[in-house]
Chains A and B, each alone.
Chain A
């Protein structure tokens, strides 16, 4: 069996102090303990990501999709679980147990993140070039000319005209802002690209272009992706495999066609049919 480039074991992210009841596996109300109100945003999540694949993540609002993505980008501390990256010490060390400096290294060299909300991923008042360069600077680059050249390459890759590199993202349309985020996320040739609802809220025609861009990028940058979306059409178009999340848990996973054409779990069946 092929070794995954990323493996997440038993990831749990909780908000709250827990109580006897929920610690012992008592039934939750959705993701929340009825007694102590602790939110189990991710609850014993296990994921494998393989080289070159796009892994789709679907699930209703609040099911824990963004929590999973942000955990992997170290946006906050997880409660329990382990993660292993082939690109980091050959997958021998738990990435969640590393020092802050090591986590920064992983974040800047191995991972790329595109947030659903561009405000989280971009400095709206800085130039687009600066936004992309930030990632290069964070990885320790200090050569202005070299960074400038790399920014030019990345702008080309996401089809933004060089003539607009001095403009701040706040002047850009939603689709262009996502392109800037994507080029920033790709700046250091990450092994894993995390895409959280990249096309949500964009016009349909713009969505299609961004999705095509993602497909091209997978080829060009040889990067594996985790792609969160509400939209099953997006998942069908891009994802090789798909996991279905509900109330902080993975309830079903498999090849995307299998999941969408022949779902096994009642919840997935309902999800697929309601959207057909």
Chain B
């Protein structure tokens, strides 16, 4: 139990929050650039979203409404734990409704409903460095970003096309931010990459273990890397719909129906799905 008698509002002391906010400001000023920050100890293990939590805790105010999702789900153990922690040390309202939330902290997904300019999306990132797959040393990748030396990244895409006739990266598909920095969009599916481009909302990315913060401010150009003659492709859900709410044109999870053995689909964004179903039922009730 974190009680407000023994802990500061939002757990972190004001000095730490101010320092993290300074790193966030720098990140916003240089879209896609990874800003180092002094990652704090939290009552949650590193690697369980501590980067995202620290961002959330340093920007949250008493009036905010928080939503936490983990791989599209509001109810996963990790999401529930984070919500409990933030609720206990801030007392802010917690919601599952994307439209009601002012801050959404997420892992692996960007909500289906387009986010607004009065909202902030905080994404948890395990490995912030997009060039890590081509270069193990941090000092070298730092240099590569400084020089915009991205041949290695392009080469790894070329290599995929040569060996497998397609680009095999499914999540963390690298993006180019404002034609300057290659950025890891965090482990969101390719499907969500386009939501980063020219968006209304501010995206903040936090990596607790690797002590990095980066940002995509509203209306930033974010392109997924592609070759002139090989366009970027996202997961394709054409002809498929959610078996619960009937939604199409959204990111779907594939599930095998235990009874029939058939492949069926459900919205990955559970909050979105529930909202649709509630409204559908509401409508039915109204008609009665």
Contacts and interface: CB of A to CB of B under 8 A. Distances in A.
Contacts of B161: 144
Interface string A122-148: 000011011001100110001111111
B233 interface: no
A205 B149 CA distance: 40
A121 to B, nearest CB: 14
Contact of B158 (A100, A101, A104, A147): A147
Contacts of A166: 162-163
A160 to B, nearest CB: 15
B147 A100 contact: yes
- Between B159, B228, B230, the greatest number of chain A beta carbons within 10 A of the residue's beta carbon is seen for B159
A134 B229 contact: no
A165 interface: yes
Given A127-B159, A143-B229, A147-B158, 18 more contacts: A127-B163, A129-B158, A130-B158, A130-B162, A133-B162, A134-B155, A137-B151, A137-B154, A137-B158, A138-B151, A142-B154, A143-B228, A144-B229, A144-B230, A145-B229, A146-B229, A148-B162, A166-B162
Contacts of B227: 142-144
A127 B151 CA distance: 15
Given A133-B155, A137-B155, A142-B154, A127 B229 contact: no
A172 B162 CA distance: 18
Q: How large, as a class, is the contact surface on chain A?
A: 20 to 34
A144 B158 contact: yes
Contacts of A143: 227-229
A25 B230 CA distance: 60
Contacts of B158: 129-130, 133, 137, 144, 147
Task: Find the residue from B154, B162, B228, B230 having the highest chain A CB count within 10 A.
Answer: B162
B167 to A, nearest CB: 10
A96 B60 CA distance: 52
A142 B147 CA distance: 19
Contacts of B163: 127, 166
Contacts of A126: 155, 159
A225 to B, nearest CB: 25
A174 B192 CA distance: 46
Interface centre among B155, B158, B159, B227 (most CB of A within 10 A): B158
A76 to B, nearest CB: 14
Contacts of B228: 142-144
B133 to A, nearest CB: 12
Nearest to A123: B155
Interface string B201-231: 0000000000000000000000000011110
For the residues of A in contact with B, the DSSP-based class is helix
Given A143-B227, A143-B228, A127 B162 contact: yes
Contacts of A138: 151
Interface in A30-85: none
A27 B227 CA distance: 57
* The 5 nearest A-B residue pairs measured at CB: A144-B227, A143-B228, A130-B159, A138-B151, A137-B154
B193 to A, nearest CB: 18
Most B CB atoms within 10 A — which of A137, A143, A145, A146?
A: A137
A130 B147 CA distance: 22
A147 B155 CA distance: 11
9 contacts: A100-B147, A126-B159, A129-B162, A130-B162, A134-B151, A137-B155, A142-B227, A144-B158, A144-B228
A92 B226 CA distance: 37
Interface string A141-164: 011111110000000000000000
A142 B229 CA distance: 8
A166 B161 CA distance: 11
A104 B149 CA distance: 10
A130 B163 CA distance: 10
Nearest to B153: A137
Interface string B130-158: 00000000000000000101010011001
A226 to B, nearest CB: 25
A43 to B, nearest CB: 30
A126 to B, nearest CB: 6
Contacts of A137: 151, 154-155, 158
Contacts of A144: 158, 161, 227-230
B229 A130 contact: no
A268 to B, nearest CB: 42
Contacts of B151: 134, 137-138
Most chain-B CB neighbours within 10 Å: which of A134, A138, A142, A148?
A: A142
Nearest to B160: A130
A173 B153 CA distance: 28
A147 B163 CA distance: 15
Nearest to A101: B147
Nearest to A129: B162
Contacts of B230: 144
A130 B229 CA distance: 17
A160 B65 CA distance: 63
A129 B163 CA distance: 10
A94 B164 CA distance: 44
A101 B147 CA distance: 8
